Amino acid sequence: MPLSFALKEGIFLKITDQVAAFAQPVVEANGCKLWDVEYVREGSERYLRVYIDKEGGIDIDDCERVHRAMDPILDEKDPIAESYHFEVCSAGLERALKRPSDFAQFMGSPVTVKLYRPRNGLKEIPAVLQAYEEGRVTVTAGKETITFEKSEVALVRLRVEF
- pLDDT tens digit sequence for 145-157: 999 999 999 999 9
- Give the residue with greater pLDDT, 87 vs 78: 87
For residues 22-37, give the mean pLDDT: 96
For residues 43-47, give the mean pLDDT: 94
- Looking at CATH, the fold of the domain delimited by 5-90 is given as GMP Synthetase; Chain A, domain 3 (3.30.300)
The whole-angstrom separation of Cα 64 and Cα 50 is 12
**What pLDDT is attached to residue 12?**
52
For residues 121-126, give the mean pLDDT: 95
CATH architecture assignment, domain 96-158: Roll (2.30)
∠ at Cα 105 (100, 108), nearest 5°? 105
Query: Residues of CATH 2.30.30.100 domain(s) within the chain?
Result: 96-158
